[in-house]
Amino acid sequence: MPGMRSLPSSTLINFLGGDEVLNEPRGIDLAPDGSIYVADSKDNQIKHFSTSGTLLDAWGSFGSTTDESAPGGTFYEPWDVAVAPDGSVYVADTWNHRIQKFSADGDFISSWGFFAQGSSPQGYWGPRSITVDAEGNIYFSDTGNKRIVVFDENGNFVAQFGSAGADYGQFNEPVGISLDANNNLYIADTWNRRVQVIKPDLKLNTSTTLLSWDVEGWYGESIENKPFIATNADGKVFVSDPEGSLILEYSPSGELLHVWDLRGVQDDQISMPVDIEFDAEGTMWVSDAASNMIYGYILPVD
């Protein structure tokens, strides 16, 4: 097993946020122009930054569907945000159990979903991670219902994959998801402590499990231990281990290549990495819910 490696301070090229700006940031995504959207969970907002750290925009406030005080544009601890090829912004409004769609400037467009246990296409239980494919289809992990759900850009149901269990194609607390260049879907199957890779067929509403590998991590079942996942341009797979302050790097076939320790970047800084994204230059952007920062790293070359 590869040894643990600290990311030296020289690899940190930029950081965004801070205690005055962010409050437990979770999911992040990059817009076509390279700017960064952040799901700022405890502020119940979406925040938009330039890569130099300038806060460009922020929208949202607290609202709860439980007491019917959650019109479009309000959130209850949003955990992820995804930017479509056309610039539309989708938000996993986790504890309102719905998906919301906005313009790039934060104008509310539509939403769908309500709290339900089971397999109803519109009934969700704590959706966590969200991503968009090249055709504009929206994939998200319906974590509590142990499945992946897909809608089109107009909010129409397309497909769903998975159920509760430990067999291939089944999940136990699926959280982070990521699509690679071949439209293979990588899933952080958290409580099964593994990564699963599936090939979705949206026309047939089926999927094929291509690969699965175990993860040395994700030991706890706390609200914080919700790992995200990303693939880079080389096809390598990166998963966060939030409570371990680690990023695990795998080959496309699931071989563990590196274990990156984020605690070495800044002295005396508590770290809880959540989401991971890569920009066109290969910079690894990581949201840190403990330090209220978004960090940009250039990974060392072996």
Domains of the chain plus CATH, in order, are 4-298 (2.120.10.30)
What confidence score (pLDDT) does residue 255 get? 96
Residue 51 has phi, psi (to 5 degrees) of: -70, -15
pLDDT digits (tens, 9 = 90+) for 130-149: 999 999 999 999 999 999 99
What confidence score (pLDDT) does residue 31 get? 96
Distance CA 17, CA 299 (A): 21
Distance CA 39, CA 24 (A): 9
Average pLDDT (26-37) is 96
pTM of the shown model: 0.95
Residue indicated by tokens 């509310």: 108
pLDDT digits (tens, 9 = 90+) for 74-105: 999 999 999 999 999 999 999 999 999 999 99
Distance CA 34, CA 15 (A): 14
